[in-house]
Structure 1
Amino acid sequence: MSTESLVSRARTMCEQKGARFTAIREKVFRLMAESQGGQGAYELLEQLKATEPAAKPATIYRALEFLTEQGFIHKIESNNAFMLCHHFGHHHPAQLLICQHCGNVTELHSSALQQEFSRLAEISGFVLQHQTIEGLGTCRSCQQN
């Protein structure tokens, strides 16, 4: 899906929810849509400064918080990075495969894995609020090089 169609979809969803998709939030969304894998907040800040020289860390963190709350991006906890969710628009658990060599991140959606994880949490007396499972390793491309 093209960046423009992703932006249009995100803008429409924000309008439907009554959420403000400000110019800065849109710029950060575009940066995420045009990148592969995860990016850290400071990497994104440096890219944003190309068009917004006055941008500060708080600027990027507020935008990332908004985009996460809207379900547009996933936070990759293991390396404190963020990636665009191409399946935004419906709530879903995410399983992420993270290549430790090239940084590529692949998003998976296994309802069986999610159900088993939720079942085990319930047995343990734990109420899940959010679920992202991360697997670290080596992608196919890096294995072949």
Structure 2
Amino acid sequence: MSTATAGTEAQNVIEHSDHDHDHCARDAIAHAEAISAATGLRFTDQRRKVLTALATSHVPASAYEVIDRLAAEGPRPAPISVYRALEFLVENGFAHRIESRNAYVACSRGEAGHGAATVFLLCERCGAAAEASSPALTEALAAVTHAAGFAPRAPVIEIRGLCARCQQAT
């Protein structure tokens, strides 16, 4: 998805019940596999399982919720192995850590997200998280940080509120 349409796409992920979430999950895995193959990263079976567990929902999951999701499919993994996989996924842009929730979500922007500020739209009612970016916001943040002599490593903004579906249910 292009950065020009990322905001619209993010909103659609949350608001439409006919959203093809399996497509999102397949795309997240395919993106991680392609980048890993192209850059020589080791996308191990454990890392693939953890990313798949994250990609099952747009609701961010804690490390222990990921462990529970994996345990439902097979043997319960050791927490340290899940934490290591999450660290790898976040470091390589395949997943994000939602700081305010101490939880993780699979990256839904693929190539469009590289170099752009990440905006998370977090629904306070249903728990869903949508990921978006804006070239204008990225430029504005770059100007502010440059003026301050600051080198940002991971520009992330979290916005809490109600998604369109939860607003309609009110």
Query: TM-score, normalization: structure 2?
Result: 0.77
Q: Does 1:106 align with 2:160?
A: no
2:145 alignment counterpart: 121
1:48 aligns with 2:78: no
1:131 pairs with 152, 155, 166, which one? 155
Shift of 1:33: 1.7
> Displacement of 1:6 after TM fit?
3.6
Q: Map Cα deviations across residues 19-78 of structure 1 (whole Å, 9 max, x no partner).
A: 111111111111122212211111001111234524121111101111112211111111
Unpaired segments ≥5 residues, structure 1: none
1:18 paired to 2:35:
no
Measured on the aligned residues, the alpha-carbon RMSD in Å equals 1.7
Q: Secondary structure at the match of 1:89?
A: helix
Measured at CA, do residues 112 and 41 of structure 1 come closer, stay the same or move farther in structure 2, by a change above 3 Å?
same
Greater share of residues in helix: 2
Q: Does 1:88 align with 2:104?
A: no
- Match of 1:135, SS state, is strand
Query: Identity across aligned pairs (percent)?
Result: 36
1:28–1:48 contact (8 Å) kept in structure 2: yes
Give 3-state SS (helix, strand or coil) of 1:106's partner: strand
Contact 1:28-1:60 at 8 Å conserved across structures:
yes
Q: Distance in 2 between matches of 1:117 and 1:2?
A: 28
Distance 1:75 1:9 in 2: 18
- Higher RCO by CA contacts (8 Å cutoff, separation 6 or greater): 2
**Structure 2 residue runs without a partner (length 5+):** 1-22
TM-superposed deviation, 1:103: 0.7
- Residue 54 and residue 101 in structure 1: after superposition, are their counterparts in 2 closer, same or farther (change >3 A)? closer
When the two structures are aligned, how many residues end up with a matched partner? 145
State the one-letter code of the partner of 1:86.
S
Q: What do the CA deviations read for 1:66-114 (whole angstroms, capped 9, x no partner)?
A: 1112211111111111111122235132111101111111111111111
TM superposition shift of 1:115: 1.2
TM-score by length of 1: 0.90
Counterpart amino acid of 2:56? E
